[in-house]
Structure 1
Amino acid sequence: MTFLDLARKNAWRMPLRTVLLMVSIAVAFLIYGLTASFINGAQGAAGASDDLLGVTSAGGRTQPLPMAAKSRIAADPGVAVVGYVKRLRGFVDVERNVVAISAADPDLLMTVNGKELGLTPALVGAIGQSHDKVLVGRALAEAQGWTVGQRVTVTAFDTPREDGGRDWRFEIAGIFEGESAATDSYFMIARYGYVNAARARAKDTVDAFVVRPRAGVSPGELAARIDTLFANSATPTRTQSEKQFLEAFLRQYADIELIVNLVVGAAFVTLLMIVVNIMVFAVRERTFEIGLLKTLGFSRLRILALILGETLFVFAVGGGIGLALAKLATVAAGPVLGLVFSAAVLAKAIAIITVLGLASGALPAFNAMRTPIIKAFRTR
């Protein structure tokens, strides 16, 4: 019998207790896997860029910037290309079915962040065939059940048309995938010229400029220069990387990552206390056997390793089941919920399993290691 076999058989001495313990561990790591995947996807940790810069009004995202600012930004020698976007929010059919539209120049969008969005020349060409054609992100298309060629009507919340109506009608010309599963694709891309010409107010303005720095140029330094350029103008700006923008957007409501970490941390601490308590009693039940193993020549370190191996086995099986269920849940949910179970999430989970396994077995293993053989035999 190998050392691993002995640890495994010790773990299964009380099958019901072991199964319940593994179920508790599996539930804890299922919760961790889902929450970590949510944070990973929502904050764009796997998909947001640290290099791509967004220039918005210092007064808030709802304050527009004049299109004339584009040429001033482009004049900076550190700027490779400047795009722009006008955001339009509305609903389809019912008010709670909210969708977002980014009105932009397709060619500039392709140059600035076409790679991140998964745009291709064919998609850009398709949207250019008619003024009312749009591209739809894969996540939005799957959520709404839309297909290429379908016509959709979006009722805008705050962007009325010149004719007084709020209904914007589009034809779906294509579906973009996004560079990875972490890329936000729950929106539509429309032509800026069409939206700008048809809207009733704030013509020739944008909500943000998108800046791609030249190779070798520090995004942070370029952002500071852009904000300095408009510091004393009528429209001061705030320039951030894409990742910073997403994180700041979420913090408007709460520090979601901190809240999630506190909740998951409390769950793990509770789990650790439960497992330590169970393992202390489990090892105490085997005091006589531990004394016998020492008599047969098992060293104190081997006794220590045996009990730690037992707790690691329980955590590995339970944690593995929980993480597998979390991965299946993210796959089943698809990109709609923005859950991204990345390699970083898995690596962190494995590290937590190892730490909890060692920590929960440390106290009972230390007690077993120190128990004298004579005292162990007296428990019989």
Structure 2
Amino acid sequence: MAGDAATISVPGPSGDREVRISSPSRVLWPELGITKLELAEYLVAVGDPFIEANGDRPVSLQRFPGGVDGEQFFSKNPPKGAPAWVRDVTVTYPSGRRHPQLVLDEPAGAVWAAQMNTIVFHPWASRAGDPDNPDQLRIDLDPQPGTGFAEAVPAALALRALLAEVGLTGFVKTSGNRGIHVFAPIEPEHEFLDVRHAVIALARELERRMPQQLTTAWWKEERGDRIFIDYNQANRDRTMAGAYSPRALPNAAVSCPLEWEELEGADPAAFTVRTVPARLAERGDPWAGMHRTPGRLATLLDWWQRDLDDGLGELPFPPDFPKMPGEPMRVQPSRARQPD
């Protein structure tokens, strides 16, 4: 019914807020019958760890007015009609353009975003108070055709050990699909390009140690069935689904933080909008207190310089970025003009 609505009470630091949910019975995940109201209730259930992981950051909203099988779009600007208690922060995009972007400070903000048909939340790697300097180093381990989550697990474990070698502490989560995300808290003392270079240096070292399993090749035709270490996720305005964010997949999977000891036996499809609240209540949040002991990038940046000195230069940027200094040609190898 057009006038159908529900009100949901959301606890938060300023007390309970009443958030109106229009069309609460609208089905967002058809295969499971999960409704808009159930999504809002999920965000209440995971509210505190969701905000600890994704709050106080510029965030993009991936919105699905007709559910996961329908059209979608990204909101980077704050949607119209935002409550007075939902703030924004001005950020600079790779083009140099500056614009406000939404910031979530309490669970009610996430529930309001669900009211605006948000399913996937994409937080920046930097804080709202210092948006140019990330406080997270993020690595996306992306399985290629012929590989999946199981093949990414050894890479993630090796990555954890390598991070420890350079004084960083890794935290792991499922992507919600086949991949694995590894985050490491860092001091916010380097801008995005430097953090990207640190990620490339880390990725290259990991590739040297596992050349048959991993690759930093940007072009898909060069990857084969190796896990791609997606260094470009470290760029400004490049984001992954946040911790505890639902994904727009038929099974309503969630990008779920794990303890490292769980990783080898984990099934990413088991962590869903319907199962994660009980998991949190039983086990707690594996990412709680992530930023208590941030690390520094000095060793990785030394590795970046070492690789430069050895003739390994910049790697390709995403196609929508401006041409960057030292970047190779943005032409896939099979289409590159061969010398006469």
TM-score of the superposed pair, with normalisation by structure 1: 0.21
Higher RCO, Cα 8 Å, sep 6+: 1
Of structures 1 and 2, the larger Rg is shown by 1
Greater helix fraction, Structure 1 or Structure 2: 1
